[in-house]
């Protein structure tokens, strides 16, 4: 029976270099973000012989693809494919002699980032704008949101396509992730409803460190929207309450809406955005491939902190062992 261990299979420019790098590999660190930031990966290589600043130098712009492989007690293997990244930074330091190779899931050369553009969009679905940007970047679009808002007017003023699309999604309460040559647009509310992939209990052997916080700062009981186009125009008003709260502050919004349905939707989304950070969780535990951004974990035996938490960021580190650090927020039922 073999001991349990986790290793990394590494490809540089589509060539398997795992065997060549393994004697020098100190650490692999992968950061998986739910939205709002690119995923990153970093390799730390021992370089006493100065190989990686001379003959074996890894060039910026190289493609880096990594798969984590876990060997279990029963000789079964689990894999976690991290996708393809572009090497955008190399750093050498001594002592000790270490080369750090850092890579990003959104290449600097990508059409998404490459140039700022100015465009106007009128009366078009958000998915159509996203598809046009994906096609131009030769990327695949996965539009997984149930709501596809129509954009009355949007101005892309000297912005990169990535920045413009991120802002457009944020304004419409949708999340965006770019990974492995894919653009993924989704609704976090659906993720909140998912079943937990793992239950963490107080005293579990896999748990190394935990920090849980509940706050009332910028947290609201309800949200009221009131808007009137002009003195004689129809006034739209809506109020949405958080059913989990008996008392609390009222969030008041005066923003343009064109219908009662829009007013109600705005109130619901604004209340949700404000209250997302009421309960947050950070924990370090023994490595687990299920702990990736977008999955839900359950907390038990922690009293008032019990419940389901959505993973917003997961950092997987392989070195002397395998550890995962996750940053989460409590799933919302409102």
Total-model pTM:
0.92
Give the CA distances from residue 242 to residues 204, 213, 217, 222, 276, in Å, rounded to whole numbers and listed in that order: 33, 19, 16, 6, 12
- The domain 111-186 is placed in CATH, from the list 3.30.70.1400, 1.10.1740.110, 3.55.50.10, 3.20.20.70, at 3.55.50.10
Residue labelled with tokens 């004697």: 23
pLDDT at position 334, please?
A: 43
Say how far apart CA 219 and CA 248 lie, in whole Å: 8
Q: DSSP readout, 284-329?
A: EEE--TT--TT-EEEEESSGGG-EEEEEEEEEEEESSSEEEEEEEE
For residue 130, what are the contacts with CB-CB under 8 A and spacing of at least 6?
Answer: 141, 143, 165, 183, 185
Alpha helices by DSSP H, 73-110 = none
Q: DSSP readout, 100-169?
A: EEEEESS-TTSHHHH--EEEEEEEEEHHHHHHHHHHHTT-EEEE--S---EEEEEEEEEE-HHHHHHHHH
Q: CA end-to-end span of the chain, whole Å?
A: 49
**160 neighbors 114 (Cβ within 8 angstroms):** yes
Domain spans of the chain, in order of start: 5-104, 111-186, 190-215+278-330, 220-273
Digit-by-digit pLDDT tens for the chain (334 residues) are 455 789 999 999 999 999 999 999 999 999 999 998 999 999 999 999 999 999 999 999 999 999 999 987 667 889 999 999 999 999 999 999 999 999 999 887 777 877 677 788 889 999 999 999 999 889 999 999 988 999 888 888 888 899 999 999 999 999 999 998 899 999 999 999 999 999 999 999 999 999 999 999 999 999 999 998 877 678 999 999 998 888 999 999 999 898 999 999 999 999 999 999 999 999 999 999 999 999 999 999 999 999 999 999 999 999 989 999 999 999 997 4
Task: Give strand pairing partners of 12.
Answer: 15, 64
**28 neighbors 43 (Cβ within 8 angstroms):** yes
Give the CA distances from residue 5 to residues 22, 66, 324, 328, in Å, rounded to whole numbers and listed in that order: 14, 16, 14, 26
Say how far apart CA 311 and CA 326 lie, in whole Å: 6
Say how far apart CA 121 and CA 115 lie, in whole Å: 18
- 5-104 and 111-186 have identical folds: no
| Nearest one of 84, 80, 70 to 39, comparing CA atoms | 84
Say how far apart CA 100 and CA 42 lie, in whole Å: 7
pLDDT at position 193, please?
A: 93
Neighbours of 213 (CB within 10 A): 11
CATH class of the domain whose range is 190-215+278-330: mainly beta
pLDDT at position 155, please?
A: 85
**332 neighbors 192 (Cβ within 8 angstroms):** yes
- CATH number listed for the domain at residues 5-104: 2.40.10.10
3-state secondary structure (DSSP) of residue 25 = strand
- Tokens at 108, concatenated: 């600097």
For residue 132, what are the contacts with CB-CB under 8 A and spacing of at least 6?
Answer: none
């Amino acid at each position: 029976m073999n001991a349990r261990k986790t290793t990394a299979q590494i490809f540089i420019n589509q060539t398997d270099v795992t065997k060549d790098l393994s004697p020098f590999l100190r650490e692999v660190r992968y950061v998986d973000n739910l939205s709002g930031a690119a995923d990153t990966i970093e390799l730390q290589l021992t370089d006493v012989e100065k190989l990686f600043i001379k003959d074996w130098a890894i060039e910026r712009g190289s493609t880096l693809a990594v798969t984590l492989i876990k060997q279990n007690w029963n000789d079964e293997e689990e894999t976690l494919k991290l996708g393809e990244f572009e090497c955008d930074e190399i750093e050498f330091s001594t002592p000790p002699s270490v080369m750090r190779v850092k890579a990003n899931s959104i290449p600097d050369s990508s059409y998404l980032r490459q140039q700022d553009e100015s465009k106007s969009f009128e009366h078009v679905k958000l998915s159509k704008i996203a598809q046009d940007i994906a096609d131009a970047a030769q990327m695949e679009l996965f539009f997984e949101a149930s709501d596809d808002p129509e954009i009355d007017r949007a101005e892309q003023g000297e912005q990169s396509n990535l920045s413009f699309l991120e802002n457009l999604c944020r304004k419409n309460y949708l999340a965006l992730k770019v990974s492995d040559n894919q653009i993924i647009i989704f609704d976090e509310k659906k993720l909140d409803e998912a079943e937990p992939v793992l239950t963490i209990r107080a005293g579990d052997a896999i748990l190394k460190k935990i920090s849980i916080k509940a706050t009332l700062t910028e947290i609201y009981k309800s949200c009221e929207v009131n808007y009137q186009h002009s003195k004689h125009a129809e006034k739209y008003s809506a109020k949405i309450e958080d059913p989990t709260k008996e008392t609390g502050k009222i969030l008041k919004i005066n923003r343009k809406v064109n219908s009662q349905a829009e007013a109600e939707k705005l109130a619901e989304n604004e209340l949700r955005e404000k209250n997302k950070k009421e309960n947050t969780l950070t924990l370090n535990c023994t490595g687990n491939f299920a702990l990736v951004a977008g999955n839900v974990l359950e907390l038990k035996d922690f009293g008032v902190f019990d419940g389901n938490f959505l993973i917003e960021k997961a950092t997987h580190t392989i070195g002397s062992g395998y550890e995962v650090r996750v940053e989460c927020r409590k799933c919302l039922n409102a």
